[in-house]
Amino acid sequence: MNVCDYSRRQFMVGTAGLVAWAYQTRIAAAAPGRDPRLLVVNLRGGMDGLGAVAPVGDPDYHRLRGEAVLSADDPAHGLPLDDLFVLHPSLPTLHGLYRDGHALIAHAVATPYRDRSHFDAQDVLESGAAAVGQSHTGWLNRALAALPHGESIGASPAPALSIGAQVPLLLRGQAEVMSWMPPGFPAADGDLRARLLDLYRHTDPGLLATFEAALDLDRATGGEMEVVREIRAVTPDLKGPEMLARMTARTVGKLMVEPGGPRIGSMEILGWDTHVDGEPFDARFVRQMARLDRVIADLHTNLAPVWDQTVICLMTEFGRTVRYNGAGTDHGVGTVAILLGGAVSGGRVLADWPGLSEAALFENRDLRPTLDVRTLFKGVLADHLGLSDRVLAQTVFPDSAGAKPVRGLLQG
C-alpha cells in the first residue's frame, strides 16, 4: 500500500520555518584569514527543478510541458541564464546574483535515492548516506564534528544542546547544535524574565546557563517581537508561512554575522509538494517562487557584511515528473541544487544535460540525474571549510569515495 506520500504532503504544508546551527564559531580548518559561513536551505517537499530552471533550449521541453512553459523572450515568462536555461520570472533576486557571479545552478542532480517517498528521500538527502535508514545523524553535523571546536555564542555556554525534535536530521549528531523557531507565544515580559533569571541564579546552575543563553540569543536576534516589527515595517500584514520563512532568514543572517555567532546553519522552506496548482504560472507555484526569492533577498541583505565569505546551498529531496498531471506535477527524481554567496564562483549552470527525449527520461517520467548532489556538497565542504577528501568520503558521506567532490565551485 502506498499512502505514505499522501500523508507527508499534507503534513508539510502546515509546518513552520526552522533554523538550527552548530554551537561553534571560527572554523579553524579553513584557510588562514578566512571566516567562512555555510548555510544549507532545505526546500522540503520536492521542488520542481524544471519549473524553477527551465531548459527552454531543449525542444523536448516544449513537447512535454507545452501547456505552461517558461520563455527567454519576455521577462514576465522567464529570466535568461544561458543558451539552454531560463529562470522562473518570480526569482529576480536570484537572477541578479547569478548575473553578478554569486549564484551557481546545478541541474539534473539527485541524491543516490531513486524512489519517490518524501520521508525516505529526505532521510537520504540529510543523512548523507547512500540509502534509506542507514544513519540517525546528518552529514552537516558529521562535517562539524570533523572540524575543531570553537567557542559558543554569548558569554555563558549552555551544556549539551542537541534535541531531535527541534533539530533536523541534517544537523543531528555528536556536534552540539542549537535551534530557533519563530516565536510560538507572545514573549514573557522583561520583569518576569529578570525575576526568573534571579531565581535560577539562586537555585539551578543548569537552568541558569540555559536561560542566560536564551537571553543572549534573544539579544543577538534582536528579540522575537522586534523581528516581527522590522519585517512588518517593510511588508505590512505579512503573516503565515512567508512571515515564518522571512523571520527565519533574518534571524539566520543576524546570527551568522555576529562575531561570536554560529558559522554553520540550516533553515527550511516548506510547501514545494506541488501536486496541485503546480504549473509554473499557477498561483501557488508563483507564490512559492516569490517567497523563495524574498528569503534569498533577506539572506543577502542580512549577510551583506560577510557575503564574500558565505556559501548558501539550496537543496531539495527530489524533483517532479517532467509531464504535468493535469494540475501540477508528481514526485520525480532529478531536480536542481543552487549555490549562492560571494564565495561562490557562479554565473553559470552546471549540468551534464541528459535531455528530455523519451529515451533520456528516467523510468519514462523523470529528469534523469547526471550529477550526484553529494559531489556538490563535498566540493563546498572541501574548498570552503577545508575538509579532506578522506574525511568526506568516509565520515561525512559514508562509502562515497566514488562520488568525487566537484572542484572549482568557489572563488579563488
Q: What is the DSSP letter of 47?
A: -
In which residue are the cell numbers 528579540 written? 223
CB of 192 to other proteins, least distance (A): 6
Q: Give 74 or 189: the residue with its C-beta nearer to other proteins.
A: 189
Q: Give 66 or 185: the residue with its C-beta nearer to other proteins.
A: 185
CB of 132 to other proteins, least distance (A): 9
Record the cell numbers describing residue 340, joined without a space: 549562492
CA-to-CA distance for 199 and 351, rounded, in angstroms? Answer: 59
CB of 333 to other proteins, least distance (A): 20
Q: What is the DSSP letter of 394?
A: I
CB of 3 to other proteins, least distance (A): 4
For residue 109, the surrounding DSSP H or E stretch is: strand 103-110
CB of 321 to other proteins, least distance (A): 16
Record the cell numbers describing residue 328, joined without a space: 501540477
Record the cell numbers describing residue 360, joined without a space: 533520456
**Residue closest to 306 by CA, chosen among 26, 35, 30, 32:** 35
Q: Give 160 or 359: the residue with its C-beta nearer to other proteins.
A: 160
CB of 135 to other proteins, least distance (A): 10
Q: Give 109 or 170: the residue with its C-beta nearer to other proteins.
A: 170
Per the CB < 8 A criterion, the answer to whether 398 and 351 are in contact is no
- Beta 371-372 vs 103-110: how paired, if at all? parallel
Q: Give 63 or 195: the residue with its C-beta nearer to other proteins.
A: 195
Per the CB < 8 A criterion, the answer to whether 191 and 221 are in contact is no
Q: Give 213 or 382: the residue with its C-beta nearer to other proteins.
A: 213
Q: Give 59 or 119: the residue with its C-beta nearer to other proteins.
A: 119
Tell me, rounded to whole angstroms, the distance of Cα 296 from its chain centroid: 10
CB of 15 to other proteins, least distance (A): 9
Beta bridge partners of 320: 331
Ordered alpha helix ranges (H), 100-138: 118-127
CA-to-CA distance for 122 and 181, rounded, in angstroms? Answer: 20
CA-to-CA distance for 296 and 306, rounded, in angstroms? Answer: 15
| Phi and psi torsions of 37, nearest 5° | -115, 140
CB of 228 to other proteins, least distance (A): 14
Listed in order, strand segments (DSSP E) in 168-257 are 177-180
Q: Give 278 or 346: the residue with its C-beta nearer to other proteins.
A: 278
CB of 167 to other proteins, least distance (A): 8
Tell me which residues touch other proteins (CB under 8 A). Answer: 1, 3-4, 6-8, 10-11, 16, 119, 133, 136, 158-161, 163-166, 169, 172, 178-181, 183-189, 191-193, 195-196, 198-200, 202-204, 206-207, 210-211, 213-214, 216-218, 276-277, 282-284, 327
CA-to-CA distance for 269 and 15, rounded, in angstroms? Answer: 9
Beta bridge partners of 410: 344
Q: Give 166 or 345: the residue with its C-beta nearer to other proteins.
A: 166
